[in-house]
Amino acid sequence: MKLIAFWMTAMILLASCSSEHSHLAEVNVELSENQTMFHGRYLDEAFALPNAKFRDTAGRSVSWPEDEMPADVTIVFFGYTNCFDGFCHTQTANVAAAIRGLTPSQQERVNFVFITTDPPRDSAEVLRTYLDLHNPRFIGLRANMKVTQKAGLALGVHVEDIPRPLPTYNYDVGHGLQLFAFLRDKSSPVFWMEDNTVLEIRQDIEILLNDAWQK
């Protein structure tokens, strides 16, 4: 069935990991008029995987969009481990809980990619330790801030600059909270915000794992 789509300029509120900052990112999004298939925001024109080069926590190079996706459904998130108000921890924990609720065979087909917005403090070791607390299969990626910010903006995620020179106090880095569900074809037809529950995310993942939803 062909879905009737409408163009809208989505002023997506990007609640940051700071009570002092909020961000509005203006991005043209083609949302499907049929929003009943998924709990997350469903797009007729899916997001494409941005062009970016990262390093994972083992030091391996990761090139988007050339490299294969690590799973049938790969959930991508921008965040950092020193998140002040817990939004990053909550989003990461929600994904981990959603995946745990899947069957063992389904879990093997899903993974999570955490792109740090704070590379000075999120070393490979720090990022690996943080992700292991949630799921040792989770993937951590690092790049310089220009690469990270450009990749984020391609998906409508605004990432604040890191203070320069680096302060001696515990600074915050505002960023968006979207969780993007990327498929093997490197498209993300669905994304979740902080108002989506663990159950809703899990149910959407189950739909995405079933190719019948695209017919």
pTM of structure: 0.86
19-33, 60-74, 91-105 — which is least confidently predicted?
19-33
For residues 78 and 88, give the distance between their C-alpha atoms in angstroms, rounded to a whole number: 8
For residues 100 and 94, give the distance between their C-alpha atoms in angstroms, rounded to a whole number: 10
Taken in order 96, 53, 181, 41, the sign of the CA dihedral is positive
For residues 111 and 120, give the distance between their C-alpha atoms in angstroms, rounded to a whole number: 25
Q: How far is CA 52 from the centre of its chain?
A: 15
The confidence score (pLDDT) of residue 137 equals 97
Spell out where the chain has E strands: 5-15, 22-32, 41-48, 52-56, 61-64, 73-79, 110-116, 139-142, 179-183, 187-192
In the predicted model, what is the mean pLDDT of residues 157-182?
Answer: 86
Q: How many percent of the chain have pLDDT more than 90?
A: 67
Q: What domains lie within the chain, and their CATH numbers?
A: 5-214 (3.40.30.10)
Q: Which of 56, 3, 41 is nearest to 155 (CA)?
A: 41
26-30, 87-91, 110-114, 116-120 — which is least confidently predicted?
26-30
